[in-house]
Structure 1
């Protein structure tokens, strides 16, 4: 077995979705990725500074998560959905108030000046 080929096979492919200068500190911006709107949240000063979640609010069906307020609830970093104010974990996408609601989360990184999302 060739371990180097196995390691390469599990590494994600990355797609540039915007530039680092397009991010807004402590706020969200929305990009298009693989047929979906993705909300990017940039939190400088945090251990993990960049998060990527589905922009579609599962309760209202509106593409508004990127407009939500970022904060902390019970020690978790969250975004509050603008319409119904439910809180979604930036790390996992789960809703704190309703376990049936969840946002998709994408691997995201800043690579030089490019913001990249993992391609499925």
Structure 2
């Protein structure tokens, strides 16, 4: 384990999966600390990763990781597969109904793995 890995482990970050396990511009669901978390990889050459709660507050179903990733203006979003609301991947804000926003979590890539801090 290198210095970055030990720093991540010391900061209560949790390894989700290798970055290569997430197809670019899609998400996966992970159970972290008892929470359903949607983890997204955006881009291929210089990928960015995001993590938000996976439960769609409009439907009560754990489905956001299966939504379509895209952008609205400068915002990177996922569209819920059920009711099509857009959630900002950086903040968790629901663009159509801010009162139905979800929690966003810090996410990063280190040593080829995606890490999320709850």
Question: Scaled by the length of structure 1, what TM-score is found?
Answer: 0.83
Unmatched tracts of structure 2, length 5 or more: 1-6
Q: For the residues of structure 1 that align with 2:45 and 2:11, how far apart are their CA atoms?
A: 24
The alignment yields a C-alpha RMSD, in angstroms, of 2.0
1:46 deviates by 8.4
| 2:3 paired residue number | none
State the match for 1:15 in structure 2.
Answer: 14
Structure 1 segment 1-120 matched on structure 2, within 5 A: 12-44=11-43, 49-119=48-118
In proportion to residue count, which structure has more strand?
2
For the pair shown, the structure with the greater C-alpha radius of gyration is 1
TM-score (norm 2): 0.84
Is the alpha carbon distance of 1:88 and 1:47 closer, same or farther for their aligned partners in structure 2, counting shifts above 3 Å?
Answer: farther
Unaligned runs of 5+ in 1: 1-7
SS for the counterpart of 1:94 is coil
CA shift for structure 1 position 23: 1.3
Aligned residues: 110
